[in-house]
Structure 1
Amino acid sequence: MEMTPTEPLYLCILVLTGAFTGIISGLLGVGGGFIMSPIQYWLLQETGMQPDLAIRAALGTSLFVILINAIFVTLKYHQKRAVLWKQATIMGVSGLIASFGGAAVASELSASTLSTIFGVVIILGALKTYSTPAVKEKTEIISNPVAYIFAGILIGFFSGLLGIGGGVIGIPIMLVFLHFDMRKAIGTSAAIMIFTSFGGSAGYIINGWGQTGLPSYSLGYINLLNWLLLVVPGFLAARKGADVAHLVNPEYLKHLFVLLMIYVGLEMIGVI
Structure 2
Amino acid sequence: MNTARTSSAPFLTPAADWLTHQLTSGKTQFGAFLPAGFPTPRSDVIALRLFADRGATILEVGIPTEEAIYDGPLITAAYREALRRGTRVADVLDTVHRAATTTDASVVVMTYWNPVQAYGVTRFATDLANAGAAGAMIVDLPPSEAPAWAAAARTVGIHAPRLAARTAAPGELEHLAATATGWLYAPAAATRTGYTGDLDVPALQAFTERLRAAGSAPVVTGIGVSTPEKAAQIRHLVSGVVVGTPVVKPLLELGGSQGLRAAADQVEAFARALRP
Q: TM bucket by the smaller chain? A: under 0.3
Higher relative contact order (CA 8 A, sep 6+): 1
Normalised by the length of structure 1, the TM-score is 0.27
Higher strand share: 2
